[in-house]
Structure formats: C-alpha cells, structure tokens
Structure 1
Amino acid sequence: MQLINIGYGNMVSAARVIAIVAPDSAPIKRLIQESRDKGTLIDATYGRKTRAVVIMDSDHVVLSAVSPETVCGRAAEEEVEEDE
C-alpha cells in the first residue's frame, strides 16, 4: 500500500485519492462545509492554515497545511520509488 505524506506525520492512501485541490474557490469551501456537516471531514492541519484539500473515494475530505503542489510532488516521488 502506497502512502502520501500530507504533512506533520499524517499519511493518506494514494490508491484512495481522487483529487488534491486548493481550498480557495467557493465550490471547494462548500464541499468542506458539507463534509463537516456529514462528519466525513478530517482536519490534519494541526491548527494551521488549510492549503490543500484531499478528496478521497470514501467520501472523506482531508484538510492539509501543505500546498497541493507539495503533496503532488510527494506522491510522484513515492511512485518513482515504487517503480524502482
């Protein structure tokens, strides 16, 4: 199982990730609020500013304090290591 580091020692399963997006747009903010209301929001920011929103296939939404570019880069690094 391949894991992606989303910051501060938190990991998510790479196989379950649908998208990694920035939290700035209104539709993403709405998605976060709906997920919070349903109880499927996972806040992994440790009180810091949310910089990336990870959308999972299990209908969970994970908030990360690391930028989307950094999370994607870490996912790509893990994929290269797995291929070797």
Structure 2
Amino acid sequence: MSKILRVGNGDYKILVKQGGSITLDTTDNALDKTGTVVVTGNLEIKGTTTTVDSTIVTIADNIIVLSKDNVAAGIPASLNYRSG
C-alpha cells in the first residue's frame, strides 16, 4: 500500500544527530535491489564527498562543470577515466 506524506504549505525538513544517516530503501533488504527513488524537481547536494555506486549513469546534459567557484591558484580540474 502506498503512503503519501503531503506538506500543503511550507517546507519539510528531517533532522538527525550530527554524523547520522537518512536512508531511503525501496528494496526491503531484498537481494535484487530493484526499487526506485524518484526526485521530481531540482536535486541539490551539499557536502565534501558525493559517492554514486551505480553500474549505469545517464546524464542528458552535455555540460559538466568541474572546479566551480574554486579560486585557488594552481589547482587543476580533471576527469579520471579507468577502463578494465
């Protein structure tokens, strides 16, 4: 049965202890891991590390910006590609 959390007016915020985690798990610990999480609208991620553990990543945009707002001199931007 589907459950819907609807906030009609204002924002919705989840707070956990410092260093805590929030997990969205659509698999109920199943081995096939076939569930889906859909974000409608913009997704903004703030932090020092973003990790994507995926076998296929599809991005429709043809522009990827690296080193945005990095004003430190002498710090190059790069893309690291590993095959096999």
Q: TM-score, normalised by structure 1?
A: 0.20
Larger Rg: 2
Q: TM-score, normalised by structure 2?
A: 0.20
Specify which structure has the bigger relative contact order, considering alpha-carbon pairs within 8 angstroms and separated by 6 or more residues.
1
- Point out the structure with the larger helix share: 1
- Point out the structure with the larger strand share: 1
